[in-house]
Amino acid sequence: MKTAESLMNKPSRQKLRAVSNGFVERIIEEYAALCAPARITVLDDSEQDRQYARRLSLANREETALAMRGHSVHFDGMKDQGRDLVNTRVLLSPGATLSKSIETVGREQGLKEILGLLDGIMRGKEMLVKFYCLGPCNSRFCIPALQLTDSAYVVHSEDLLYRQGFGEFKRLRGGKNFFHFVHSAGVLQGNVCRDICNRRVYIDLEKERVLTVNNQYPGNSVGLKKLALRLAISKAHREDWLCEHMFILGAKPAGKNRVTYFSGAFPSACGKTSTAMILGQTIVGDDIAYIMPGKDGRAWAANVECGIFGIIEDVNSADEPAIYSALTTPRELIFSNVLVKDSVPYWLGMGKELPECGANFSGDWFSGKKDDAGKEILPAHKNARYTISLKGLENVDPNLDSPEGVPVSGFIYGGRDSDTSVPVLQSLSWAHGVFIGAVLESETTAATLGAAGVRKHNPMSNIEFLTVPLGVYIENHLKFGSDLDSPPLVFATNYFLKEGGRLLNQKTDKKVWLMWMEGRVHNEFNAIETPMGFIPVFEDLRRLFREIFNKEYPKADYEKQFSVRAKKLLEKLDRVEAVFKEEDNIPEAFCLHLAQERERLAETMKKFGKETISPFELCESR
C-alpha cells in the first residue's frame, strides 16, 4: 500500500511539512489508505494554488467557462438539487439523545456504512487537500478547517466562500483544535454523480469531522458550510457562545453618521440574502454567524464566511439591484443549475425573456421537456445558485475581516408566512424574543429536497442543523442574553403576507422595515404594544416611505399589513405547542411566554369581538 506522501509531488510534500502537524498528517494518511486516490495535491494560500483548483474544475468539466470574464457554471444532477435532510445524520453515541426532529444514526452503524462507501472511492482520481479558516483569521472567532475532497468544484467554491487557512494551521503549532471534512463526489456520469441512492452526509461530533459521499450540491458537499455549522453549534454549546444561521449587516440611516449592526435568521428563500444586501447598507455576511459576549457587555459577531452561496431566482435589477449588478459584471463567480445559452446564463425571475432551449441541470434542455415522472422541467432550477466572494462587492462592510467582529444591536427572525404574521415587529423583551425565534414557522421552498409550500416549524431557522437538544439550544439563548449588560433587541419580519394570492407589500419595502428597526434601537420611533410584540406607528412608516422611496404609504396598506390576526396566531401557537410537547426539557421561561401570549391574544379577541384587529383600533384603545 502506498503512503500518502508517496502520492504527492515535491511541492505538496513541502507544504505538508511546513504545516508541521502530526494530526493533519495522520488524517491525510488515513483517508489516502481508505479512498485510494491516484495522487494527492496539497494546496496552500497562494493565488497560484487557488487558480490551480479553478483550472482543474474547468479541465475536469465540473465547471464550464461562460462568456463573461471570470464567470463559470456548474450543474448538479436531477436528484442532487438541495440539502438532503434525510441522509444527513448525526452519529449518535450509546446513551446520547437529540431532538426527534434531528436525523441520527448509531455511531458504530453509521461509521461502518460510510467508511464502506468511501473505501476505494477516489481510485483513479486526485485528492485535494486544502486549509481554511472559519471566521476571521487570528481571532477568537477563528476555527481552522481541513478539507479533503476529489472535487475541484468543491475547493473552488470554498476558495470563494472562506478565508484561506494555511497560515492558521501553522499557528496551531501541531495542535488538534480544528474541524476536518472528507468528501467524494463518487463516480461521475455526464459530469454528475451517478450513485445518488448512496448519498450520505454523516456528522461526527466526537471527532469534529464530517464524512460526505456521492454528492455535488454544495449544501451536501462543501464541508465548511452547513456541515461545519453543525459541528460549531456543538462547540458553541460547550463554550457558552452562539453559532447561528444568521446574516450580519450594517444599517446606515440617511443623514445620520452611524452604522447599526443586525444579525438575522431566515430559512432559505425567505429573503435572507436580499436583506443582507439591501441597497445603501453594508454586508458583513449573509448566512452563518459566530456570536460571542464582549468585554463591554454587548454581543459581538463575525461572519464565518467571506462569500455568498445565494439563491438566484427572482434576482433582477428592480428588486435586488445590488446583487444583480454583481452577477452581471466581470468577476470570479460560479453559477449553478441555471440555463445557459451561447455561454450566457439565464435564471427564473431575472427580468428578461428566457431562451427556448439551452443547457441546464437536466442536460440539453428545450421548452416542454419533461422528466421521468412526466413533469415539465423548468429552464432553470428554482434552487439555482451563485457563488461569489464578498470582497469584490461595493457594499461589503469594512469590518468583514475584523478580528474583534462587530457589535450586534438587533436580532431579526424572518419566515415565509402568507396569512398570519405582520411585516415587522419587536419583541417585548430578550426572553420574549427568544420565544419568537423558537416558534418561527416558514413555508418550505425548493432549497431542500421534498414538497414545497408546507408550513414547517423552524426554531431560529436552525432546526435542520442542531446537534444539541432543542430545549438545551433555547436555554443557551436565554442565558446568553441574560448574561449581557445590553442584549440585542429582537425583531421579527415577514415579507410574504398575502391577500387574494397577491403580496401586500413590495419586495423593496424591506428597507423601510429595516430602518424602523434601526430607529427603535436608538429610541427614535414610537410603537404600539400588541399581544405578540411592538408594531410600528403609521405616521413613522409614512415618513420613512417618503424619505426612502419618495412615495406615499396609504393607511389602507398599513391596516392590512399590521392588523393582528389573532385567530391565526392562536392556531400557530397550537401547532408549535404540539411540536414542543414532543421535546424534553423545554425551559420554563419558554412555556411561560407561550401561555402569556395565548392569554393576551384571547383577551384581545374578546375585547374587540373579532378575530382580526386593526392597528388603528389597538392604538385608540391604549
Cα 377 → chain centroid: 26
* Strand-pair partners of 412: 264, 491
Separation of alpha carbons 301 and 242, rounded Å? 9
With vertex at residue 67, the alpha carbon angle to CA 65 and CA 72, rounded to the nearest 5 degrees, is: 30
Tell me the three state secondary structure of residue 31: helix
Separation of alpha carbons 343 and 548, rounded Å? 38
With vertex at residue 160, the alpha carbon angle to CA 408 and CA 58, rounded to the nearest 5 degrees, is: 165
* Strand-pair partners of 301: 291, 406
Backbone Cα Rg of the chain: 24
Tell me the three state secondary structure of residue 288: coil
Separation of alpha carbons 431 and 444, rounded Å? 27
User: Cα dist. 208→6, 144, 229 in Å?
Assistant: 27, 11, 11
Can you give 515-542 as a three-state secondary structure string? Answer: HHHHHHHCCCCCEEEECCEEEECHHHHH
Would you say how long the chain is, in residues? 622
Tell me the three state secondary structure of residue 576: helix
- For residue 352, which amino acid is it? K
Positive or negative, the CA dihedral 350, 352, 353, 355 is: negative
Residue found under cell 456520469: 189
* Strand-pair partners of 284: none
Instruction: Taking each helix axis as running N to C, give the angle between helix 588-608 and helix 470-482, from 0 to 180 degrees, rounded to the nearest 10.
Output: 80
Residue found under cell 464502506: 116
**77, 361 contact by CB (below 8 A):** yes
Catalytic position from the list 35, 133, 142, 270: 270
Positive or negative, the CA dihedral 91, 232, 218, 54 is: negative
Q: How many helices (H) and strands (E) does the chain have?
A: 18, 37
Does the active-site annotation cover 270?
A: yes
Name which of 225, 235, 236 is nearest 288 in CA terms: 225
User: Cα dist. 411→151, 261, 301, 324 in Å?
Assistant: 36, 9, 11, 26
Positive or negative, the CA dihedral 317, 500, 448, 590 is: positive
Residues 6+ apart with CB under 8 A from 205: 90, 91, 231, 234, 467
Give the residue numbers marked as catalytic: 270
